[in-house]
Every structure is written in C-alpha cells, then in structure tokens.
C-alpha cells in the first residue's frame, strides 16, 4: 500500500516527500495510521550518516503514536480504533535468552530497528515513523493509556522515555538515592521527570544557563552548570548514579569524579566521535563503573508508559509540520528546543 513519508536520498540531501510501500497486514500484524512522530537525535545521526551503515532512502522516526486501522486474524491484544505506540524496535528473533526475558533490545540474533534495519519488505530496509502509516507485528506494539489530548506529547516516551526509564530502574533510582542527569535535551528532560517521579534526589547537569529555571520546573532538585568548574567541584563524590545523555564527545572523568564509591556512570548518548578514554585510577580507587544502556524491551516500555500515565508525565514538545524537519534538525544541533520536536503527520496531506 502506497504511503506518504518524509525521508532523504543521501547524507547531504534534504528531507523531502517520498511515496513508500507498506505491506498488507499479515495474521499477526497491526496496521497503524500515524498521528505524531517525535524527532530523536538518533534520527539525525542516522539520516546524515554520522553513524556507519545508513541505507537510503532513509525514513527516520521511532517515537510513533497513532490509531489502529486494521489487524490480522491472529491478533489478540489490539482492535481497530485503539490508540497505540511503536518505539525503536519492530521485530527480533523472539526466541533467544534476551527475547525470552523481554529484553528484545539485546536480542542475540539481532533485532529489527524501526528504521534502517534489514527486512523482506521493499526497499529491503525498514522505514520509520516520518510517514502516514506503519505495519508492525503485535508483540512490538504498545498500549497508550494517556488522555487523547496528550497524544503528541506521549510520542517521545517511545524512545526518550524508555531510554531513560530503563537504566533508572536498573540502577534503582528512588528515595535515598542521589541521581544526576547530564544534558537537558529530549532524553535528559525525560530523565529528570522520571527520576523525580521515582523519588530520587535529582540533579540536572547542563551547559545551557538558559535551562536552569526550567530544569527545576521539570523536577530537578538541583541544577549544575557543567561548564563552571566550581559548581562541578562542589558535587565531588556525591552520586549513586549518573545518566549521561549528551550527543557529543566530552570528558567522562568530570562525571566519574562526582560518583560515590561503587557509583555508576551510565552512557546513553551515542556521539559520532568517541569520548576521550577515561582515567583508570579514579575508577580503581572508588570501585566505580562506567556502563551503557540501550532503549528498553517491550514489557518495560509498556511499564514505562503506564508509569508515566499514572504520574501524568509527558514530554515538553514543539509540534512542527513535516516540511520543517531540516530546520528542526539545525535547531536540535544548537540545543535550541525545549525539549522535543514532534511531527504532526497530518501535515503530510
């Protein structure tokens, strides 16, 4: 079925209207008319080939919300008219140890990303949510319990929400824990809201003085301007856990110094250039860890959506028409967005 989309034909090509094909729903498939799709920094890394291996045409988008318009005859959890979401994954092997544990993002046989992953469907790689429609196997579709009028602001939960929720849960953010969130962008602003809702003492680290007041509004108990060495020094040795969402290469030692003994610095930001190698002695002398974390599995993504609905958490967004995606990318690179762009798919006509 022909579907309108926005994508690019090369790393240095603009985003433009495309006509793509979606498969007819199979027995286990859910067909979704997309209402809104968030713009993640990973979309920009991919469409501009900042990470290796982009296939063109590239249609990004993995923060998808919309309505079910058809279901296969073996689908049990969804019906036509349901409000649903799709995140960064549309398939996995579904039988390895990780998949059996609901950790499809660590599938040992390789998961299928919502865009830029191999698929039998034309053109041979998956095409994402900057489009009017998508067809996804039932296991990878999420239920949305937020009120209808919040739908656009729910979209970013499908990546920015789960990418921060999963490590905050894994490292047990909660009452009595001092948690740092580095970078107040799409991921970071969700990290602040979620860590605060989990009951942790939440400290935001930002390079942007202009985000200070806002960070408190988002739920930060303290805000540190990371470019100010005095403010950084005052936080030395105080953190159980720090979540680093920064999309650019930077010095990790500055944050390792802020961890308590046995503390963990978890990286979720995925810059195109590597961070300078961190010093070994600060890790050894405090039994500290550097870790990474990838989005979240399907059960935990549903848990996150339900948690956010219960705590009335959505993203802070600016809605744009598809014609302004390139402009949004440029503003995202300047950290000039509070805090997530969301495409109104109705603008595709």
Please pick, from the candidates 39, 40, 68, 305, the single residue that binds Zn ion as defined by CB under 5 A. Answer: 40
**Does the footprint of Zn ion cover residue 42 (CB under 5 A)?**
yes
* Structural contact between residues 168 and 190, judged by C-beta atoms closer than 8 angstroms: no
**Does the footprint of Zn ion cover residue 34 (CB under 5 A)?**
no
**Does the footprint of ligand NAP cover residue 193 (CB under 6 A)?**
no
**Does the footprint of ligand NAP cover residue 45 (CB under 6 A)?**
yes
- Which residues from 101-120 bind ligand NAP, rule CB under 6 A? none
The residue behind tokens 């961890």 is 259
Stretch that binds Zn ion, among 94-102, 152-160, 204-212, 301-309 (CB under 5 A): 152-160
Binding letters toward Zn ion, positions 113-132, x by CB under 5 A? --------------------
- 331 to each of 37, 90, 107, 327, how far by Cα in Å? 17, 29, 34, 6
Stretch that binds ligand NAP, among 1-9, 53-61, 114-122, 200-208 (CB under 6 A): 200-208
> According to the 3-state scheme, what is the secondary structure of 117-129?
CECCCCCCECCCC
Residue 305 contact, options Zn ion, ligand NAP, none, Cβ 5-8 Å cut-off depending on partner type = none
**Does the footprint of ligand NAP cover residue 49 (CB under 6 A)?**
no
320 alpha carbon, distance to own chain's centre: 18
Our CB check for ligand NAP shows the closer of 34 and 315 to be: 315
**Does the footprint of Zn ion cover residue 164 (CB under 5 A)?**
no
Stretch that binds ligand NAP, among 78-86, 181-189, 195-203, 228-236 (CB under 6 A): 181-189
Please pick, from the candidates 248, 257, 290, 291, the single residue that binds ligand NAP as defined by CB under 6 A. Answer: 248
Beta-carbon contacts of 254 under 8 Å, excluding residues fewer than 6 positions away, are 226, 232
Please pick, from the candidates 86, 90, 134, 187, the single residue that binds ligand NAP as defined by CB under 6 A. Answer: 187
Our CB check for ligand NAP shows the closer of 333 and 346 to be: 333
**Does the footprint of ligand NAP cover residue 335 (CB under 6 A)?**
yes
Our CB check for ligand NAP shows the closer of 121 and 221 to be: 221
Please pick, from the candidates 89, 152, 246, 314, the single residue that binds ligand NAP as defined by CB under 6 A. Answer: 246
Stretch that binds Zn ion, among 38-46, 242-250, 255-263, 338-346 (CB under 5 A): 38-46
Size, binding site for ligand NAP by CB under 6 A:
30
Residue 250 contact, options Zn ion, ligand NAP, none, Cβ 5-8 Å cut-off depending on partner type = ligand NAP
Q: Which residues pair with 65 in a beta bridge?
A: 36, 85
Residue nearest to ligand NAP (CB): 185
Size, binding site for Zn ion by CB under 5 A:
3
- The residue ranges that bind ligand NAP (CB under 6 A) are 40-42, 45, 159, 163, 183-188, 206-208, 211, 245-248, 250, 268-271, 293-295, 332, 335
- The residue ranges that bind Zn ion (CB under 5 A) are 40, 42, 159
């Amino acid at each position: 079925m022909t579907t309108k989309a926005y994508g690019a034909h090369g790393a240095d090509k603009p985003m433009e209207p495309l006509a793509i094909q979606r498969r007819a729903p199979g027995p286990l498939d859910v067909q979704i008319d997309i209402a809104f799709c968030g713009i993640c920094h990973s979309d920009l890394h991919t469409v501009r080939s900042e990470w290796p291996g982009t296939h063109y045409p590239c249609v990004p988008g993995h923060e998808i919300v919309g309505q079910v318009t058809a279901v296969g005859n073996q689908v049990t959890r969804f019906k036509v008219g349901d409000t649903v979401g799709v995140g960064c994954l549309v398939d996995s092997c579904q039988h390895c140890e990780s998949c059996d544990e609901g950790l499809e993002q660590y599938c040992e046989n390789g998961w299928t990303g919502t865009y830029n992953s191999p698929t039998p469907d034309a053109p041979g790689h998956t095409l994402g949510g900057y489009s009017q429609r998508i067809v996804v196997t039932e296991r990878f579709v999420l239920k949305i319990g937020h009120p209808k009028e919040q739908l656009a602001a729910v979209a970013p939960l499908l990546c920015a929400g789960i990418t921060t929720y999963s490590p905050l849960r894994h490292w047990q953010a909660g009452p009595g824990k001092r948690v740092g969130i580095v970078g107040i962008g799409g991921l970071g602003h969700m990290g602040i809201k979620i860590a605060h809702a989990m009951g942790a003492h939440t400290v935001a680290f930002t390079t942007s003085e202009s985000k200070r007041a806002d960070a408190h509004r988002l739920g930060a108990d303290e805000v540190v301007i990371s470019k100010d060495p005095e403010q950084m020094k005052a936080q030395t040795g105080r953190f159980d856990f720090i979540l680093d969402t920064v999309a650019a290469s930077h010095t990790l030692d500055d944050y390792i110094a802020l961890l308590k003994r046995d503390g963990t610095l978890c990286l979720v930001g995925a810059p195109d250039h590597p961070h300078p190698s961190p010093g070994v002695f600060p890790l050894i002398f405090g039994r500290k860890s550097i870790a990474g974390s990838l989005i979240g599995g399907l059960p935990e993504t549903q848990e996150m959506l339900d948690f956010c609905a219960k705590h009335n958490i959505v993203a802070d967004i600016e809605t744009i028409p598809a014609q302004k995606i390139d402009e949004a990318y440029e503003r995202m690179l300047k950290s000039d967005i509070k805090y997530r762009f969301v495409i109104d798919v109705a603008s595709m006509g």
